[in-house]
Amino acid sequence: MRKLFAFGVVFALMAIAPGLLNPYQLSILLKILIWGLFAMSYDLVFGYTGLLSLGHSVYFGLGAYGAALMMLQMHPGIAISLAAGVLLGGLAAALIGLLAVRSGGHGFIIVTAVTALLFYLLAQSQRNVTGGDDGLTLGPLPLQIAGWSAGCADPGPAYLLVLVVAGLSFLLLYALVRAPLGLALRCVRENEPRAQALGYDTITLKWLAFALSGGAAALAGALYALTNCHISTALFHWLVSADALIWTLFGGMGTLVGPLLGTGVFFILREGLSGIWQVGYPILVGLTLLLIARFFPQGLLGIIKGLGQTLRGFSR
> With 80 as the cut, is the pLDDT of residue 309 above it?
no
Q: Where are the beta strands (DSSP E) in the chain?
A: 136-137, 144-145, 148-149, 230-231
pLDDT at position 240: 94
Domain ranges of the chain: 18-237
User: What does the pLDDT look like over 182-193, one tens digit per residue?
Assistant: 999 999 999 888
> With 80 as the cut, is the pLDDT of residue 264 above it?
yes
Name the DSSP letter for residue 300: H
> With 80 as the cut, is the pLDDT of residue 104 above it?
no
161 or 145, which is more confident: 161
Residue range 105-133: mean pLDDT, rounded: 92
Average model confidence (pLDDT) across the chain: 86
> With 70 as the cut, is the pLDDT of residue 153 above it?
no
Residue range 260-288: mean pLDDT, rounded: 78
- pLDDT confidence band for 230 (50 / 70 / 90): confident
Helix ranges restricted to H, 126-201 = 127-130, 156-178, 180-190, 192-197
Please tell me the distance from the alpha carbon of residue 191 to that of residue 264, in angstroms, as a whole number: 32
Please tell me the distance from the alpha carbon of residue 57 to that of residue 217, in angstroms, as a whole number: 8
Task: Please state which of the ranges 131-145, 254-268, 290-304 shows the lowest mean pLDDT.
Answer: 131-145
CB-based burial label for 231 (10 Å; 0-12, 13-18, 19+): buried
User: What does the pLDDT look like over 34-62, one tens digit per residue?
Assistant: 999 999 999 999 999 999 999 999 999 99
Helix (H, G, I), strand (E, B) or coil at 162: helix
- pLDDT confidence band for 74 (50 / 70 / 90): confident
pLDDT at position 169: 95
